[in-house]
Amino acid sequence: MDKTVLFTSKIKELYPALSEEVLKNLNKPRYKTFRYVTLKKNENLLPVEEYKKGPFPNSFYVEDSYDLTDTPAFANTDLYIQGFSSMIPAIILGAKPGDKVMDMCAAPGSKSSQLANLTGDKVNITCIDNNSARLFALKSNLSAQNVQNFKIIRANAADIQYDPSFVNQFDKIIADVPCSNEGNIRFYDDKLLSKWNPKLAKKISKLQKRILASGIKALKKGGRLVYSTCTYSLEENEEVVDWALKHFEDVKLEPINLPITNTIAGLCKNGKKVFDSSITNCIRVIPNDLFDGFFVASLLKL
């Protein structure tokens, strides 16, 4: 079956009441979004008439035709290009100065550096990744944004649950896991859809469960873990969180409050699949001019 037809059918199945709106939004590019690097002096801000404020602290956007990469602000790392959806985990994590934080799949450093900027570089960030090239990019990005309070560990996030030195060590954890990237697909760009593998969701969900298990074990009592993906598939979203609730009695889902309207609650039922009723505390971000498709859950360790 043609991938466009297959993907369209998937959207209609997941969002029966919103499918027309979602598909309309997927036929156009989103605006270019960014944040300023507040750990630097910001000597190369964009002229105020050229950008607009986004819904989150230190979030901004420009028209799609505007080339952010061709500005002194970008060249001098006074701004960092990051999607609004990608900004959500660090915002709802609620990290406070002195917190010990782990970014489980940290490269290339968007969320770790955002956390440092949000807290004035006053949290202790442990960045995990297992790819040498990506670790190099991670270190480069953090250094360019003047982040000082971090350490990088080369490790497989799915396996740190077997290392006693990680158990019950962190106040806050971000688990923005590898996924099938369906949320980034826009129909106007054939390349994005051509890379989509409809079979990947079921396969990669096994890895996602192992990463989430590692994160829960590494979390201190009373700590918060934010699980997120940039994809639509139930297998990678609600199903993974439901699995965690069944396997770890010491975690519960927290409500998520964001200053945006393009969200719906996590799906407790889809076809024959039925999940824990508390899954409604998760959110699905509906793609539009500013946001890509996204899923996020906030888990508290009891």
105 is in an annotated binding site: yes
12 is in an annotated binding site: no
199 is in an annotated binding site: no
Distances (CA, A) of 43 to 156, 190, 192, 232: 38, 38, 35, 39
- Residue 269 phi, psi dihedral angles, 5° rounding: -145, 135
Distances (CA, A) of 145 to 26, 65, 87: 32, 26, 16
Q: Is 62 exposed, middle or buried (0-12, 13-18, 19+ CB in 10 A)?
A: middle
Selected catalytic residue, list 127, 179, 230, 282? 230
158 is in an annotated binding site: no
Distances (CA, A) of 212 to 80, 97, 120, 177, 258: 28, 24, 28, 8, 23
111 is in an annotated binding site: yes
106 is in an annotated binding site: yes
Answer yes or no: are the C-beta atoms of 212 and 177 closer than 8 Å: yes
d(CA 205, CA 233): 10
215 is in an annotated binding site: no
176 is in an annotated binding site: yes
41 is in an annotated binding site: no
Q: Which amino acid is at 209?
A: K
282 is an active site residue: no
The residues that are catalytic are 230
Would you list which residues are annotated within the binding site for S-adenosyl-L-methionine?
Answer: 105-111, 129, 176
Would you list which residues are annotated within the binding site?
Answer: 105-111, 129, 176
